[in-house]
Amino acid sequence: MWVFRSILILIIIIIIIGFAVYNSGPSQTVDIDLIWAKRYAVPVITVVFWSFILGSLVSLLLFISVYLKQSDQLREANKSIKGLISEVSLLRNRPIEEAKDLLKKPGGTQE
């Protein structure tokens, strides 16, 4: 599975680089108007690069938050499973121990 994912990421990166190179040139500029700054005549390749980097960082942060949440849920589930397994084994062994007590003779020996 990790091989397929690596190949897919490589293909996406190649497509992005190809798109950026295809759109690069002196006449390929855009004006950027952010809330805190204005930039004029910024090359498209720069805009694509920083958009890709910011998108990667946002997806990484989302992945980390989901991963931490799932690992916490897994830890809690494993604790619950261990408790339930010990309870089941205790309940399974209980009738056997009680049966041994019932089979004992009053003199302390078994048949």
Asked if the structure places residue 10 within a domain, the reply is no
Asked if the structure places residue 84 within a domain, the reply is yes
Residue 98 CA to its chain's centroid (Å): 48
How much is the pLDDT for 14? 87
For residue range 19-28, what is the model confidence (pLDDT) as tens digits? 777 767 777 8
Tokens, residue 65: 């938050």
User: Bridge-partner residues for 39, per DSSP?
Assistant: 32
**DSSP-assigned letter for residue 23:** T
The total of structural domains in the chain comes to 1
For residue range 29-62, what is the model confidence (pLDDT) as tens digits? 888 888 888 888 888 778 878 888 899 899 989 9
Asked if the structure places residue 85 within a domain, the reply is yes
- With the C-alpha atoms ordered 31, 32, 37, 41, is the resulting torsion angle positive or negative? negative
Asked if the structure places residue 6 within a domain, the reply is no
For residue range 54-95, what is the model confidence (pLDDT) as tens digits? 998 999 899 999 999 999 999 999 999 999 998 888 777 776
Asked if the structure places residue 25 within a domain, the reply is yes
Residues 6+ apart with CB under 8 A from 104: 110
Q: Which residues span the domain enclosing 76? A: 19-101
Q: Who has greater pLDDT, 44 or 102?
A: 44
